[in-house]
């Protein structure tokens, strides 16, 4: 069981040091939760992971997001490639694709690129959710202009209070209302202490600052949600995280937890 009173008190203490621009809505109001539509041309490094075999064709088979970090290299969440997410072992998913350059999944814009190789972080721990990262190699390169730079460790973009934006085609209400057009929502990088307090360890996961990043709004409202997993969290023009997990979506005192990309992959690389 959780201890809401204790958590509320310590969150109030954190709120005192992180000024909030405006009171956040108490409930989710609509990426991504609380989000707004974005053009894919504004975030060409946001891609959809898709399998029509597994997920049907109505939304082009989209089931997770990803971030383009090299011309043929996409980062996503390890849990997106697990049997629980796919409903089958990865080896049985024959039509795994990355959809790039397509904001509206009902349209035909952009390209569907088969995945040539999948490397799931061998250190990924599905109990704590630590190291929730996988690297996909595409069969064809994307334009260099689609590549986003990763923030290295110590990058100022990780500092608590930093404004960040998360992108995805996931649930917009927490009730299974999946977007067909790409959305984004603004969240704030929160201190590790906030997520350590919110997620001390349960069946949902345990917040581990080495490999995770805490972001959201203290009062809830803006957040990533199911279907956004693996997608990019961007601050100051650099990739800082991938949507990973959380308790529900957009709830007060249950921030989003992201895979911290610094240190996980050595170099984005220009040409691979």
Active site residues: 79, 132, 229
Q: Is 134 in the site for ligand 4AZ (CB under 6 A)?
A: no
Subset of residues 225 to 244 that bind ligand 4AZ, contact rule: CB under 6 A: 225-226, 228-229, 243
Q: How far apart are CA 62 and CA 226, in angstroms?
A: 12
The answer to whether 67 and 231 have CB atoms below 8 angstroms apart is yes
Q: How far apart are CA 95 and CA 14, in angstroms?
A: 46
The answer to whether 122 and 116 have CB atoms below 8 angstroms apart is no
Binding to ligand 4AZ by CB under 6 A, coded x per residue (else -) over 179-218, reads: ----------------------------------------
Tell me which residue has its CB nearest to ligand 4AZ.
246
Q: Is 62 in the site for ligand 4AZ (CB under 6 A)?
A: no
- Which range touches ligand 4AZ (CB under 6 A), out of 17-25, 35-43, 98-106, 223-231? 223-231
Can you give the length of the chain in residues? Answer: 272
Q: How far apart are CA 43 and CA 236, in angstroms?
A: 13
Q: Is 223 in the site for ligand 4AZ (CB under 6 A)?
A: yes
Q: Is 153 helix (H, G, I), strand (E, B) or coil?
A: coil
Subset of residues 251 to 270 that bind ligand 4AZ, contact rule: CB under 6 A: 256
Q: How many helices (H) and strands (E) does the chain have?
A: 4, 13
Residues forming contacts to ligand 4AZ in the complex (CB under 6 A) are 223-226, 228-229, 243, 245-246, 249, 256
């Amino acid at each position: 069981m959780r201890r809401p009173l204790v958590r509320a008190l310590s969150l109030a203490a954190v709120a005192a040091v992180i000024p909030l621009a405006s009171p956040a809505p108490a409930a989710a109001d609509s990426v991504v939760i609380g989000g707004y539509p974005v053009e894919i041309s504004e975030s060409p490094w946001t891609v959809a992971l898709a399998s029509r075999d597994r997920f049907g064709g109505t939304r082009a088979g989209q089931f997770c997001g990803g971030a383009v970090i090299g011309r043929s290299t996409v980062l996503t969440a390890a849990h997106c490639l697990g049997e629980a997410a796919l409903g089958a072992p990865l080896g049985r998913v024959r039509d795994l694709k990355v959809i790039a350059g397509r904001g509206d999944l009902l349209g035909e814009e952009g390209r569907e690129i088969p995945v040539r190789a999948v490397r799931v972080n061998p250190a990924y721990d599905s109990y704590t959710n630590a190291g929730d990262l996988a690297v996909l190699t595409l069969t064809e390169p994307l334009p260099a202009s689609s590549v986003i730079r990763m923030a290295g460790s110590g990058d100022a973009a990780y500092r608590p209070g930093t404004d960040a934006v998360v992108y995805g085609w996931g649930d917009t209400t927490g009730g299974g209302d999946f977007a067909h057009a790409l959305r984004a929502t603004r969240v704030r990088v929160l201190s590790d202490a906030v997520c350590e307090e919110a997620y001390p360890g349960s069946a949902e996961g345990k917040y581990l600052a080495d490999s995770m990043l805490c972001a959201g709004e203290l009062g809830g409202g803006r957040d990533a949600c199911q279907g956004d997993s693996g997608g990019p969290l961007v601050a100051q023009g650099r990739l800082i995280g991938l949507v990973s997990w959380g308790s529900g979506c957009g709830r007060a005192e249950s921030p989003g937890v992201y895979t911290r990309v610094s240190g996980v992959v050595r170099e984005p690389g220009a040409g691979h």
